[in-house]
Amino acid sequence: MIMDVIEIQEIIPHRYPFLLLDRVSELTPNEFIIGYKNVTIGDNVFQGHFPDHPIYPGVMILEGMAQAGGILAFKSMDMTKEEASNKVVYFMSIDKAKFRAPVKPGDKLEYRISVIKNKGAVWVLKGEAFVDEKMVSEAELKAMIVDK
């Protein structure tokens, strides 16, 4: 299943400048999602992080993982579009976060998120981020789908 940014915005409420996922390239419900963000010097985070040495913030990488994980959770639950429009994903915890290499303008940041465990509305996900097949970050994410 491939999703463009328009379809992504139908599922999660994030919008520019905080929509951190450009495309979903693979998705298998209840198993995994692969998506990416093209990091550009035009991203407003580079105005302050850092102007003379632009590095994409680790917290933004984690948020991108969380957004991809939210799409995976939504697409894994048996909900109509109308039901889904009345729900939102809240992240409960981010554990075991590690940053292995800097992400810079021009990088294609690929998110690979897989399901560790799901019980009802609660999801535990393994998140990994790659640039050119090199892992740049990883974390364990816990989220819950709740009513708006």
Q: Is 49 an active-site residue?
A: yes
Q: How many other CB atoms sit within 10 Å of the CB of residue 61? A: 24
The residue annotated as part of the active site, out of 14, 23, 49, 87, is 49
Q: Which residues of 21-30 are buried (b: 16+ CB within 10 A; e: fewer)?
A: bbebeebeee
User: Could you tell me the two tokens for 6?
Assistant: 């328009």
Q: Which residues of 103-142 are buried (b: 16+ CB within 10 A; e: fewer)?
A: beeebebbbbbebeeeeeeebbbbbbbbbeeeebbbbebb
Which single residue is written with the structure tokens 């021009």?
106
Catalytic residues: 49
